[in-house]
Structure 1
């Protein structure tokens, strides 16, 4: 990788132990090689060095009181990575796995994802190692209030606009926004994913899952195929997975798997998405409860998974949608998918495929949509929510969905055309990274060094 090796070594020294961040950076740098060779001004202007260092990192203590009156302490993070194109935009993740490296990896990916939408958005990410699972409503509320008390002075409608992510859904956004309003005295579009009754956008909850399917629709169209009639594998059982399955069913496809931390649900007749929604909404229930209604389905406990593999990817299918979390799909999983007939993979999660898995997909010639392109629907509709907030307006669900479908088409076109420009037709990893990078890098150069 030439000088890139020095960059990676420097990152490991200045930001030790941030494995996911190094992985994301290495993938981007490899993809950018053709454009950096063709346009040396990007290196001459020090764009890479500036792009890899966040503009601001905010780490803070979150102290809150549980139902037993005990004081609890968690870590809070907000990484404001790049604002060349607009206010920082990216979700908040509440999960025990959260650390500085994961937030940096997510924030770095968010720069390119947001740039690909064509909308005026910078990149950022945040969260905490707090786990909402098993906590009472009162505990979640008190944690969210404590988190926002530490964060509110660093965000704003034209500065930094967080959203939800894993562990941060409608409930958490409500508590966070209520505390922001209480502290700031302002009713403004500082958070997205709000209730449609008080400033949110219709279609935001569904946007990442729907957008992931729309992106697959565009990849399949290039192959002369359609989604209708296809058998689909989906991982995860959260917001993204549920609405990916919902849109697939609506378009005539048949999702047959989903998963959570306890295992994988398989229903070859096609998953009952309304039932899954009710199970997950009912105290975030276990997927195994599905079998009480559908006796022809079966559940594979995580303890029974093949060594180094996930049961989600072991079924014969046409399309795959990894929608759970980072690095969930391994190289051996990818080989199984290709062997089992999958022709298209569209990432609903952020970096769910390992480097080995991505290599398998690219070599196989199947259609592969990386997360920074395929799962950009959520941030796209977040920006539409920002537009509605700024205009004090509310759009219909049909208008939002039409805009989302258009944005996902445009993202695919940008990535596909850029890949073709550099002689690697169909390589959307390279196309998405270069297209996003160019937009951000040009803005950074035009605005001068800071």
Structure 2
């Protein structure tokens, strides 16, 4: 990688994987060849997107699709529309997606794509024109048995609808080439809620195994205010927890009292974010406090659970120390690579100090995004299955399948971590997730002749 342009996010993701794989690789050195191969995307597509603004001037953006690995099935991963989008970020997301998808147990490969287009401040007509121009090129490279993109930051139901409509016109076919579709034209129930719900289902297992407890009375810090954060908050509240914070790129909103956020508060915030406004537009009244430019992690003296659910590298080492000082016992990523490497190192160091499963005081139980936030892509996979069968399952059926997938994912991480973790009486979920996902993908690649 030394001869390549600097790609800090991708290099961080590769380091995070490779560092935890070492105990497995020492016992199985032949897999080092697979590690060298799996780091390189099978294909990267870059293209120009030219579209017309409402004032009839011409705009141009960069479009990307990183088709990272298809050993387990069609490439699967979101399309991000945000001005920060570049190849480093998309390669990191695609690389993570490969192993995340493997952990769901569904037959999906990994990929990621998007554009540096910013939907904020654009009219619906301008977004439609961009989506049609974007799909004009992307349609050449995707298909229900080739590559099935989904939503991501900046790509919600509106954008998916426009892209699907464009694909249908260009290709003259109605097929499940995108997930996150509308409920009455091929979408699945529970898809908007899936990542947030799945995150909470995963942490439910962590709570039981570390402390023999549940969500009742737990003080929960959540960052972000999009779909993941909103539905994680609603599920936490439903299960008896107290949500103390939400945030966006402009700052953090924190609850003053013991009640925390209510479902009505979350609904009002959802309306604010749907209008693409800052959290400052939420009528905070006297029950909340606004912290301009802040993240939630250093704003509380006491908390139990932290769920970073906004973006990558949103929780650093100093903030990790602040969470430990506040008594936080559980950190699980709703965002992709939400914690910096130094934060992960601090959490893992606290785990390594445990001498028995019953003496875990001061320990933080940490779950990486590739496992904890796999619920979104899991229900995307279930949407693909429904499309293939021309069926639509009930919300209860999808939710039950989602919960089963997240519980199985957790057990896989715990069992693999127990086998290969270094130090501590409690297994490393990050090592378990990385090693389990890697073995599944590497074995499939070997069977198909990608390494031997």
The interval holding the TM-score normalised by the smaller chain is over 0.9
Q: Is 1:112 aligned to residue 95 of structure 2?
A: no
Q: Is 1:17 aligned to residue 15 of structure 2?
A: no
* Among 201, 221, 224, the residue aligned to 1:233: 221
Q: Is 1:208 aligned to residue 200 of structure 2?
A: no
- In the alignment, structure 2 segments of 5+ residues that lack a partner are 352-363
Which whole-Å CA distance do the structure 1 matches of 2:138 and 2:278 have between them? 33
Paired residue for 1:443? 444
SS in 2 for 1:298: strand
Q: Is 1:318 aligned to residue 304 of structure 2?
A: yes
Q: Residues 367-378 of structure 1: matches in 2 within 5 Å?
A: 367-378=365-376
Q: Is 1:286 aligned to residue 278 of structure 2?
A: yes
Which whole-Å CA distance do the structure 2 matches of 1:97 and 1:274 have between them? 32
Paired residue for 2:433? 432
Report which of the two has the higher share of helix. Answer: 1
Which whole-Å CA distance do the structure 2 matches of 1:280 and 1:251 have between them? 20
1:449 to partner: Cα distance:
2.9
Paired residue for 1:6? none
Which whole-Å CA distance do the structure 2 matches of 1:122 and 1:25 have between them? 17
Q: Is 1:301 aligned to residue 288 of structure 2?
A: no
Is the 8 Å Cα contact of residues 233 and 319 (structure 1) preserved in structure 2?
A: yes
1:220 to partner: Cα distance:
0.8
Which whole-Å CA distance do the structure 1 matches of 2:102 and 2:421 have between them? 22
How many residue pairs match? The answer is: 430
Q: Deviation per CA, 1:296-321, whole angstroms, max 9, x where unpaired?
A: 2111111xx4xxxx344421211000
Q: Deviation per CA, 1:272-313, whole angstroms, max 9, x where unpaired?
A: 343333344341233223335x322111111xx4xxxx3444
Is the 8 Å Cα contact of residues 174 and 194 (structure 1) preserved in structure 2?
A: yes
Is the 8 Å Cα contact of residues 279 and 286 (structure 1) preserved in structure 2?
A: no
1:421 to partner: Cα distance:
1.0
SS in 1 for 2:140: helix
Is the 8 Å Cα contact of residues 136 and 170 (structure 2) preserved in structure 1?
A: yes
1:391 to partner: Cα distance:
0.4
Which whole-Å CA distance do the structure 1 matches of 2:450 and 2:384 have between them? 28
Paired residue for 2:234? 246
Which whole-Å CA distance do the structure 2 matches of 1:221 and 1:435 have between them? 22
Which whole-Å CA distance do the structure 2 matches of 1:143 and 1:372 have between them? 30
Q: Deviation per CA, 1:104-152, whole angstroms, max 9, x where unpaired?
A: 0000000100001111010000011111111110111111111111100
SS in 2 for 1:188: coil
1:17 to partner: Cα distance:
2.0
Is the 8 Å Cα contact of residues 251 and 292 (structure 2) preserved in structure 1?
A: yes
Q: Is 1:272 aligned to residue 262 of structure 2?
A: yes
* Among 351, 357, 376, the residue aligned to 2:337: 351
Paired residue for 2:415? 417
Which whole-Å CA distance do the structure 2 matches of 1:40 and 1:290 have between them? 54
Question: TM-score w.r.t. structure 2 length?
Answer: 0.93
Q: Residues 25-36 of structure 1: matches in 2 within 5 Å?
A: 25-36=14-25
Is the 8 Å Cα contact of residues 322 and 346 (structure 1) preserved in structure 2?
A: yes
Paired residue for 1:130? 117
Paired residue for 1:4? none
Is the 8 Å Cα contact of residues 233 and 313 (structure 1) preserved in structure 2?
A: no
Is the 8 Å Cα contact of residues 75 and 109 (structure 2) preserved in structure 1?
A: yes
SS in 2 for 1:444: helix
Which whole-Å CA distance do the structure 1 matches of 2:45 and 2:141 have between them? 9
Which whole-Å CA distance do the structure 2 matches of 1:106 and 1:152 have between them? 21
Q: Is 1:330 aligned to residue 328 of structure 2?
A: no
Is the 8 Å Cα contact of residues 48 and 63 (structure 2) preserved in structure 1?
A: yes
Is the 8 Å Cα contact of residues 242 and 273 (structure 1) preserved in structure 2?
A: no
SS in 1 for 2:3: helix
Question: TM-score w.r.t. structure 1 length?
Answer: 0.93
Which whole-Å CA distance do the structure 2 matches of 1:149 and 1:272 have between them? 43
Is the 8 Å Cα contact of residues 187 and 383 (structure 2) preserved in structure 1?
A: yes
Paired residue for 1:391? 389
Which whole-Å CA distance do the structure 1 matches of 2:262 and 2:163 have between them? 33
Is the 8 Å Cα contact of residues 23 and 421 (structure 2) preserved in structure 1?
A: no
1:360 to partner: Cα distance:
1.0
Q: Is 1:194 aligned to residue 181 of structure 2?
A: yes
SS in 2 for 1:75: strand
Q: Residues 72-111 of structure 1: matches in 2 within 5 Å?
A: 72-111=59-98
